[in-house]
Amino acid sequence: MNSKDVEKILKLVKSGEVDIASAASRISTHLDFSDVKPDTSRKERLGFDEVIYGRSKSIEQIENIALKYIENELNFVCTGLDSGKMDALLREFPHFQANRQAGILRHIISAAPRKEGKVAVITAGTSDIKVASEAAEILDICGIDADIHADIGVAGIHRFFSVREQISDAKVIIVIAGMEGALPSITGGMFPHPVIAVPTSTGYGAALEGFTALFSMLASCANGITVVNIDNGFGAAMAAVRIINALQEN
Amino acid sequence: MNSKDVEKILKLVKSGEVDIASAASRISTHLDFSDVKPDTSRKERLGFDEVIYGRSKSIEQIENIALKYIENELNFVCTGLDSGKMDALLREFPHFQANRQAGILRHIISAAPRKEGKVAVITAGTSDIKVASEAAEILDICGIDADIHADIGVAGIHRFFSVREQISDAKVIIVIAGMEGALPSITGGMFPHPVIAVPTSTGYGAALEGFTALFSMLASCANGITVVNIDNGFGAAMAAVRIINALQEN
Amino acid sequence: MNSKDVEKILKLVKSGEVDIASAASRISTHLDFSDVKPDTSRKERLGFDEVIYGRSKSIEQIENIALKYIENELNFVCTGLDSGKMDALLREFPHFQANRQAGILRHIISAAPRKEGKVAVITAGTSDIKVASEAAEILDICGIDADIHADIGVAGIHRFFSVREQISDAKVIIVIAGMEGALPSITGGMFPHPVIAVPTSTGYGAALEGFTALFSMLASCANGITVVNIDNGFGAAMAAVRIINALQEN
Amino acid sequence: MNSKDVEKILKLVKSGEVDIASAASRISTHLDFSDVKPDTSRKERLGFDEVIYGRSKSIEQIENIALKYIENELNFVCTGLDSGKMDALLREFPHFQANRQAGILRHIISAAPRKEGKVAVITAGTSDIKVASEAAEILDICGIDADIHADIGVAGIHRFFSVREQISDAKVIIVIAGMEGALPSITGGMFPHPVIAVPTSTGYGAALEGFTALFSMLASCANGITVVNIDNGFGAAMAAVRIINALQEN
Amino acid sequence: MNSKDVEKILKLVKSGEVDIASAASRISTHLDFSDVKPDTSRKERLGFDEVIYGRSKSIEQIENIALKYIENELNFVCTGLDSGKMDALLREFPHFQANRQAGILRHIISAAPRKEGKVAVITAGTSDIKVASEAAEILDICGIDADIHADIGVAGIHRFFSVREQISDAKVIIVIAGMEGALPSITGGMFPHPVIAVPTSTGYGAALEGFTALFSMLASCANGITVVNIDNGFGAAMAAVRIINALQEN
Amino acid sequence: MNSKDVEKILKLVKSGEVDIASAASRISTHLDFSDVKPDTSRKERLGFDEVIYGRSKSIEQIENIALKYIENELNFVCTGLDSGKMDALLREFPHFQANRQAGILRHIISAAPRKEGKVAVITAGTSDIKVASEAAEILDICGIDADIHADIGVAGIHRFFSVREQISDAKVIIVIAGMEGALPSITGGMFPHPVIAVPTSTGYGAALEGFTALFSMLASCANGITVVNIDNGFGAAMAAVRIINALQEN
Amino acid sequence: MNSKDVEKILKLVKSGEVDIASAASRISTHLDFSDVKPDTSRKERLGFDEVIYGRSKSIEQIENIALKYIENELNFVCTGLDSGKMDALLREFPHFQANRQAGILRHIISAAPRKEGKVAVITAGTSDIKVASEAAEILDICGIDADIHADIGVAGIHRFFSVREQISDAKVIIVIAGMEGALPSITGGMFPHPVIAVPTSTGYGAALEGFTALFSMLASCANGITVVNIDNGFGAAMAAVRIINALQEN
Amino acid sequence: MNSKDVEKILKLVKSGEVDIASAASRISTHLDFSDVKPDTSRKERLGFDEVIYGRSKSIEQIENIALKYIENELNFVCTGLDSGKMDALLREFPHFQANRQAGILRHIISAAPRKEGKVAVITAGTSDIKVASEAAEILDICGIDADIHADIGVAGIHRFFSVREQISDAKVIIVIAGMEGALPSITGGMFPHPVIAVPTSTGYGAALEGFTALFSMLASCANGITVVNIDNGFGAAMAAVRIINALQEN
């Protein structure tokens, strides 16, 4: 940690964005910024900023990244935060906004313009709502409206039919399901929309921590369904963002 | 091969059940009956005779078993026969009856009495019909009527609803599906019947040669669905036989 | 949470079904009922009410569901509860009945009529008793008697033979086994009854957390054995309920 | 096969769509149409007709389906055909059009209107071209133009950069790669377009018959990439069709 | 191939152990002996000679090895031979002895002395007999008597009990079973003998080409059962040889 | 819990084998003995008593079993105990003997007679010593001497050669190794003894929690090596007991 | 295929590099060169030319690539060729050089300069020699000498010690082994050289088609061993080339 | 623990290398040195000392090993230490040096001479830095300089190009990446250096705890990339040490 790094922290202390105790701790433990390389041109290239995936990073690493982002005046969005990390980060950055159900922390400097065309986010069970919240939160950050229709899985298929019209109003459908992952097949067979399927780790034993749902969705008999990683509500939202953005250009 | 075994073959030649050329070949190659132990008390114990699984046996082994069964005056039923084995066995035993679509060869000495209560056999796609045929053939051998409703998978779910009443008339439902294996979940959520699900090896890549359908059915959100091995139409039929037999006793 | 939801909670407070502190907490944290869609027609369709699977749900989600069920005057049954969740729910709903060994909490408003025909529940080891308890508890809720015969696995097969007659008196047999999962094969080879096999996660290493038992049961040389998910005592019970219900109709 | 089915075949003979020898063979072997249930409302529901997956069906089953489609005046498109099936079907239906590299046979009665917005189909190696051809052929059938950019994988990444502009002109990008499946990550990091990744079974050993590429694409560090089944050029095309169709509506 | 190698071949021609045509072919194709390193001290170290595993070797490689063994006056035993390789090798070495059911070719120069104590080889089904033959043939070559009791699997467990006494007379029990692999558990629970279990690839789907039986045997609830590789009758025999040899020393 | 069960507990209190507090707790919580079926004839059948596997059982279940064993005057041996369970059981049964490194608790009423012939237990690394201790403890309980040679793995193969003579003095060799599991191949190639290989879960990543060592040992190029489950020192010891017992008979 | 492509072929006919019949066939079937993008700068970047992997390519694709390479005056080397493809390519390009044991076809225009420092290629069994040949052939093409020491696996470890000095003379060691893959651990523990391990698909059952050897090598207790894909003799050679090239620079 | 062992501990107390309290504890708990067999000739054989892998060892085992190393005057280096073990060991051996990010504890008695030629260590993300630290620390201990270039993964490939020259200056490249593991392919296609790829367990779901990255690297389309175990920064460093040492000899 060179003197320039120390200076940066002191400036953040002065502006109130970092409190004194944590700045002292940071300086004395020689944590610095040198390993963080924000992809500053991503918004220009792709239409959205880089988002931090918090689960595999230590609190210190996320703090360093947040400081770098503040310094570069980039929007900071971090996903995959459990309660412990969320609390620790909010102590350091009390003015950040938290969505605890979604596990997302955000600090938006320049908000995205609102887009035309909303996204329907549907889930098979109540256990899948956390993933739906992550998707909806990311869509909101990107300027896109989302409607969540939860708990309409195939064991009581009449519940699905009861919201058929509302789903049809959206431009893109995100379908979230665990266990046998059958809901995307029904959805893809009934609607002409782009369908993005998200398997979840709901279930046990033969549910294979989400892999059964993942493979079911990939092997679906319904045509043209696309799939993202297990529990990856963020990825599904970003895929929808790419499509909604393409619609804006027209 | 001792002289008693030779005698047996000669008697079968005399009665016309085995032709001369194959008897000669059999004697000269020293194939004998000694390894075959028919479970002669199975019908008494379980209500149905032993059935031979032909896929993992050589033609010679199946022939030996058939001879033993003829000798013991047992019903001979062999499943899992491809065209080559079927042809070879029919040359040896021309009076046996073949169901080529089901891959089953039968030689019934004492037919089962017809039972009350039929079974609905439904399939998701046309590729699953072979397995449905195996199930229906076995049910017929056991004295039980079966209706096949094919090609009513979830990608066009209206086809399933169109045969709802016919399915409901059965006492037991066998559901056969490959790929994502979603049909049993819909079925189990709509009917109160005993449901036996059969995953098939239809599909490719993420269908995992039937394991995705298998795991989907085991992890189904519909309650009380039971599952048998991949492509095991025979096993599903036998499970239905156990239930239908229990119904007779009442 | 709209005023109607608040009203509902207040009514439950008044009737004593929810205590004041937890109602206050509920209101202030904006938890509401909107994500819960009880399948109110399930009993009519299938002959049994929806049962909640508690393992993948948070305490808050289960509480919300319980409130919805109380409100709709449905029988509330929740499985898969560990000690922590059980305690938390009993604090909230002290008049609910808990079976701790089975991990089941129930609040029955209209009891099921008792059915003809009992179920034999047999286990290979003492480690499998938890799963047997879950099955027996669910059967009891559905009006069906069950006898448990525990610890009669194949390493000392004489123990199995000693209860042969008692097992034979049942209409359906549920066989629960971990490790190599061999007990269903013996059972299926000895009894003509419908046999539902439940693999358990008992064992280590090559037991593959229950998958070895699962695959053993699916690949069993005994005919017509059906299988449910690992540790799924609930599913086995529901499959037996479907069969016993079919027997009633006769 | 009832007399109505025979009549149908005779009409097709008369019209020249089926030749005499094969009609005779068909009638004498009792193959009939009863198992085929074309999803006649799919175009209305989804914007595209049902497509037959030929790999898991016998030649007889495909012929039956083709006859049903001709009878119902539906567009017939069949994928997944190897040389043997292709030859057999062309003998029966000589006026059908074959794309041998893509493994697709088509008989189009009413062509799709051409759409706005083309699709870029890029592949990592020459071994992936078969899958790219399948995607491009399906897109063409659905009225959409596709440009194939082949053999631009990451081991010589300058080849990818050399076609950057052409790729950017498309509305949707389909990326096809086997082995380590790295190309979609580069693509998703460079272009804001909707990206549909197709893993292929190219490679050996640790390539796991396409599963390494599949998992790589699902675990990609690039945001918002969606994935379809291994070698599923057809599915990728249909996913692109859903997006392109959404663009038309705007 | 140097002149010394050519000389060796010519000597074998002269002695009649190799015929002229195959010697000519061998010389002209430059196949030589240089890659073969017989483990000439193995018998001294371990009590038995090296045995060749023929499945993964080409006919040319096996021929080279056989020539080396003839040259070094070692006993030549080759396992894992299918019909094609067996025929080719017998054409080259017509005085070798073949056991076609076992897939073993042998050319014994100094026979092993007969040992005290026999081995019981028991199998669950008729499909497992090939593996039993391999084990029995190897035991015979090592001077040990073996009794085969075939087709006594758990689906008709009374067959197993009927040979209980004969099995008990042996010193070591080899148990061979496919599918669910339950027979070793019963055996280990009933006999105090050393038990060597051999899983076989008999079965389909959930039998996992022998891995279900393998894992079942490893996870067996019976104590002290040991296991060898799938279909490895040879390995089971060698393990029995090690035990029987230890018994001789006493 | 009936009065007879209460009586039993009171008698144990009187004899001092159970203390008052725990007896009171036991009676008040209605834990009883009814689920435990000790295999009382096992010693007679197999030459050794039943041993309890403690890992998958609750403390209450193990206590119940221990009481049953005390009551039936059987030797009680329990394996797989972590520190927590060990402490809890020693509080209840303070006169039992614990081997904490081996995770074994024993209460021997009639000691086994000492046997002829010792066992060599060798390990590849220091991490494997826990499993070696389990094996040696069980052998000691069964009256058999064992020498442990630890930390002689293949990365420094000279350490293995340095104890060659000591190993050779044993009648049976147990080889314990994790990671790549290579030590049994070297051992089997150098010694004519019966070799029992135990894979351990030592290692990470590609060590697959012991499955790499397991598969390595099963696929070993050394002949006649047998294998038991991962970390199963107990099973290896029991397999050695079976062999040593066979040696006694001679 | 445009006129320029036709011209190219005609020129090759004229120069004798392609014969008339195959040129005619090529032109009439519209195969063209457009999909092939040789990485013409690879030698400059990496020090070696691109090598074609022939297994996943059709004969037509390889021919197209060969023509492109001839046209661009690049060295053409193709690996992974079975007998059928080798014969077909040699008919088309009779002046190419084939190494049938290695499965490699080469057409070298500018030979690599010979390098300092040779490579030792050692194999565990005779079944691994094909992979060793592939490695040695590639090394030779790159100007590097290789010594093959075959059949020195761990079941007779004295064979390995007997060539210790010769191995030590090399600069890099390539170790090739199937089954349990133990040889690299011994090698890495004895020599300070860079060690590149190649797992092979030799073996059956628990050998997992080479994955057991692969995982063993990755989990090896010897330090600093590196691993390439299963059967990838080519990749091991290229890794050695990178090291030997680095040595030249010094 | 014999008197000689006690003496050794007392000497270490006297010299201050072990404090009194821990020596007392050690003596009273009978922990001794007998299981530890340091490979004292490794440095002479391989050019580097044995390094202890701490993750699978208890604190007591590591302490015993450290004492043995101190006694034998060997360099002590222990990897894979979490915070708990690190703290416990530092209390016992306060003069040892800890690198907490790398999880390495070292006590160097004779430092390695510095070598010619440095190593470039590059990582795809910030989550991979821990593994990079482990590699760099080991290289430093072996006398080799390393430059870390972190967070330059393929989703923003321009970051990689920006450090191209610095990477090129090294003699060996270690590439560390999780998730899809694509960075080694790019690296291997751009640089002629020896490339050692390290997959990390970064990611979730389809990242398969590092196996997706592992398989990607093994199946890479770039030639001559070698791979080590998941998260094995230590192994990659040792592989680089072997190469750098070979370079010194020239």
The answer to whether the CB atoms of B226 and C228 lie below 8 A apart is yes
Task: Give the Cα separation of B106 and B75 in Å (integer).
Answer: 8
B126 and D35 within 8 Å at the Cβ level: the answer is yes
Cα(C214)–Cα(C228) distance, integer angstroms: 8
| Of E128, E93, E127, residue with least CA distance to E107 | E93
Task: Give residues with Cβ within 8 angstroms of H79, minimum separation 6.
Answer: H51, H52, H53, H54, H102, H103, H104, H134, H138, H234
Taking an 8 Å cut-off on Cβ atoms, the answer to whether H218 and G219 are in contact is no
**Nearest CB to H232 within list F129, F152, F205:** F205
Taking contacts as CB-CB distances below 8 angstroms, the residues of chain D near H216 are: 179-182, 212, 216
C-alpha dist (Å) from residue E140 to A116, E113, E136: 82, 10, 6
From chain A, the residues in CB contact with C61 under 8 A are 126-127, 129
Q: Which residue of C has its CA nearest to B193?
A: C242
Residues 6+ apart with CB under 8 A from B169: B118, B120
Pairwise CA distance, residues H149 & H156, whole Å: 14
Q: How many CB atoms lie within 10 A of CB D54?
A: 23
pLDDT tens-digit map of H108-145? 999 999 999 999 999 998 889 999 999 999 999 999 99
Inter-CA distances, C87 with C67, C92, C100, G111, Å: 17, 9, 10, 79
Closest chain E CA to residue B210: E205
Q: What is the pLDDT of residues H212-247, one digit of tens each?
A: 999 999 999 999 999 999 999 999 999 999 999 999
Q: What pLDDT band is residue A98 in, cutting at 50, 70 and 90?
A: very high
Identify from H243, H245, H247, H249 which residue to disrupt to test chain G contact, counting G C-beta atoms within 10 A and taking the largest count: H243
Domain ranges of chain G: 3-107, 119-249
Q: Which residues contact F99 (CB under 8 A, 6 or more apart)?
A: F105, F106, F133, F137
The answer on pLDDT for G97 being more than 90 is: yes
% of residues, chain B, pLDDT over 70? 86
Within 13 A of E7's CA, how many CA atoms are on the CB side? 3
| Angle (CA) B105 B108 B109, round 5° | 150
Q: How far is B250 from chain E (nearest CA, A)?
A: 27
Tell me the per-residue pLDDT of C32-85, one tens digit each, with 9 for 90 and over. Answer: 445 567 777 888 888 888 899 999 888 988 998 999 899 888 899 999 999 999
| Residue A220, min C-alpha distance to chain C (Å) | 22
CA G198/CA G234 separation, integer angstroms: 10
User: Which tokens go with A231?
Assistant: 């529990």
> Do B39 and E150 lie within an 8 Å CB cutoff?
no
Record: contact A61-H158, CB cut-off 8 A: no
Element (H, E) at C46: helix C42-46
* Nearest CB partner across the interface for E46, out of F47, F192, F242: F192
Secondary structure, 3-state, F39-63: CCCHHHHHCCCCCEECCCCCHHHHH
Q: Which chains touch G (3 or more CB pairs under 8 A)?
A: D, E, F, H
Q: Where are the alpha helices (DSSP H) in F72-128?
A: 83-92
At residue C46's C-alpha, the angle toward residues C42 and C49, to 5°, is: 45
Residue A63 to residue A73: CA distance in whole angstroms: 15
Instruction: Tell which wins on pLDDT, F17 or D194.
Output: D194
With helix as H, strand as E and coil as C, how does E63-82 read? HHHHHHHHHCCCCEEEECCC
Tokens of E131: 């593996």
Minimum distance, in Å, between the CA of residue H181 and any CA atom of chain D: 7
C98, containing H or E segment = strand C97-99
Residues in chain A within 8 Å Cβ distance of H127: 56-57, 61
Contacts of F225 in chain E (CB under 8 A): 228, 235, 239
Sort out which chain H residues have CB atoms less than 8 A from A229's CB and list them.
204-207
How far away is chain A from the Cα of D178, in angstroms, using its nearest Cα? 16
**Res G25: pLDDT:** 54
**DSSP assignments along chain D, one per residue:** --HHHHHHHHHHHHTTSS-HHHHHHHHHTT--STT----TTHHHHHSS---EE-TTS-HHHHHHHHHHHHHHT--EEEE---HHHHHHHHHH-TTSEEETTTTEEEE-SSPPPP-SS-EEEEESSGGGHHHHHHHHHHHHHTT--EEEE-S--GGGTHHHHTTHHHHHTSSEEEEEE-TT--HHHHHHHH--S-EEEEE---S-GGGGGGHHHHHHHHT-SSTTEEE--TT-HHHHHHHHHHHHHHHHH-
Mean pLDDT of the region B145-154: 91
Q: Amino acid identity of F72?
A: N
**Chain C positions in Cβ-Cβ contact with residue F231 (cut-off 8 Å):** 204-205
A218 to D227: CB separation less than 8 angstroms, yes or no: yes
Q: How far apart are CA D38 and CA D32, in angstroms?
A: 14
At F27 the pLDDT is 57
Per-residue pLDDT tens for H142-196? Answer: 999 999 999 888 888 888 888 999 999 999 999 999 999 999 999 999 999 999 9
Question: For the segment D75-84, what is each residue's pLDDT rounded down to a tens digit?
Answer: 999 999 999 9
* Joined tokens for residue E50: 């090296």
Instruction: Please report the pLDDT score of residue E23 as a whole number.
Output: 64
Question: Looking at residue H12, what is its pLDDT?
Answer: 72
H77 bridge partner residues = H106
**Given B155, B205, B220, which is nearest A180 (Cβ)?**
B220
Residues of B in contact with D35 (CB under 8 A): 126, 129, 150-151
Measure E216 CA to nearest chain G CA, in Å: 14
Q: What b/e string do you get for A198-228 counting C-beta neighbours within 10 Å, with b at 16 or more?
A: bbbbbbbbbbbbbbbbbbbbbbbbbbbbbbb
Identity of the amino acid at H100: R
- pLDDT, average across residues D212-219: 98
Give the minimum alpha-carbon distance from E99 to chain B in angstroms, rounded to a whole number. Answer: 13
**What is the least distance, in Å, from the CA of G248 to any CA of chain H?**
9
CA distance B230 to chain C (A): 9
Dihedrals phi, psi of B241, to nearest 5 degrees: -60, -45
Q: Could F55 and C204 be called an inter-chain contact, meaning their C-beta atoms sit closer than 8 Å? A: yes
Q: Structurally, what CATH architecture does the domain formed by D119-249 represent? A: 3-Layer(aba) Sandwich (3.40)
- Start-end of H helices in chain A: 3-14, 20-28, 42-46, 59-72, 83-92, 129-141, 158-161, 164-168, 183-190, 211-218, 233-249
Q: Looking at CA atoms only, how far is residue H193 from chain D in angstroms?
A: 14
Chain H residue closest to F154 (CA)?
Answer: H39
Q: Collect all residues with Cβ–Cβ distance below 8 Å to C106 and sequence separation of at least 6.
A: C75, C76, C77, C78, C96, C97, C99, C137, C141
What's the CA gap between C59 and C48, in Å, rounded? 24
- Give B184-235 pLDDT, tens digit per residue: 999 999 999 999 999 999 999 999 999 999 999 999 999 999 999 999 999 9
* Mutation target among A123, A126, A148 for the C interface, most CBs of C within 10 A: A126
Strand order in the sheet with C146-149: B146-149, B119-123, B172-177, B195-199, B225-227, C225-227, C195-199, C172-177, C119-123, C146-149
> Is F in contact with C (3 or more beta carbon pairs below 8 Å)?
yes
Residue H163 C-alpha, separation from nearest chain D C-alpha, in angstroms: 16
CB-CB: which of D151, D159, D202 is closest to G35? D151
pLDDT at residue D27, as a whole number: 57
Q: Which residue has the tokens 């030459």?
A: F47
The residues of D whose Cβ lies within 8 A of any Cβ of G are: 126-127, 129, 150-152, 155-156, 158-159, 178, 202-207
Question: Which range (A189-193, B124-128, C101-105) has the least confidence?
Answer: B124-128
- Cβ distance of B207 and A215 shorter than 8 Å: yes
| Nearest chain B residue (CA) to A181 | B216
Touch test G–F: 3 Cβ pairs or more under 8 Å? yes
- Collapsing DSSP to helix, strand or coil, G196 comes out as strand
- Please enumerate residues of A whose Cβ is less than 8 A from a Cβ of D: 45-48, 51, 171-172, 189-196, 214, 218-219, 223-229, 234-235, 237-243, 245-247, 250
Residue F216 C-alpha, separation from nearest chain E C-alpha, in angstroms: 10
Using a CB-CB cut-off of 8 Å, the residues of chain B touching A156 are 189
Chain D nearest-CA distance from G82, in A, is 15
Handedness of CA D189, D193, D197, D198 (dihedral sign): negative
Sequential DSSP letters for E151-191: S--GGGTHHHHTTHHHHHTSSEEEEEE-TT--HHHHHHHH-
* Chain G residues whose C-beta sits inside 8 Å of any chain E C-beta: 126-127, 129, 150-152, 155-156, 158-159, 178, 202-207
> Strand pairing of E76-79 and E104-107?
antiparallel
Q: A-B interface: how many C-beta pairs under 8 angstroms?
A: 112
Least confident of C173-187, D104-118, D165-179, G155-169: G155-169
The DSSP symbol for F113 reads P
Mutate to test the interface with A, among H83, H126, H166, H176 (most CBs of A within 10 A): H126
Q: Are F198 and F131 in contact (CB under 8 A)?
A: yes
DSSP assignment, residue E48? S
Q: Which residues of E touch F223 (CB under 8 A)?
A: 46, 48, 51, 234-235, 238
Spell out the residues 6+ positions from residue G94 whose beta carbon is closer than 8 angstroms to its own. none
Asked whether residue C29 carries a pLDDT value surpassing 50, the answer given is no
Kindly report, residue by residue over A107-117, the tens digit of the pLDDT.
999 999 999 99
Q: What is the pLDDT of residues H37-91, one digit of tens each?
A: 778 788 888 888 889 999 988 898 899 899 989 988 889 999 999 999 999 999 9
From B42, which residue of chain E is nearest by alpha-carbon distance? E156
Structure tokens at F227: 């294998």
Judged by CB atoms closer than 8 Å, whether chains meet at F171 and E246 is answered as yes
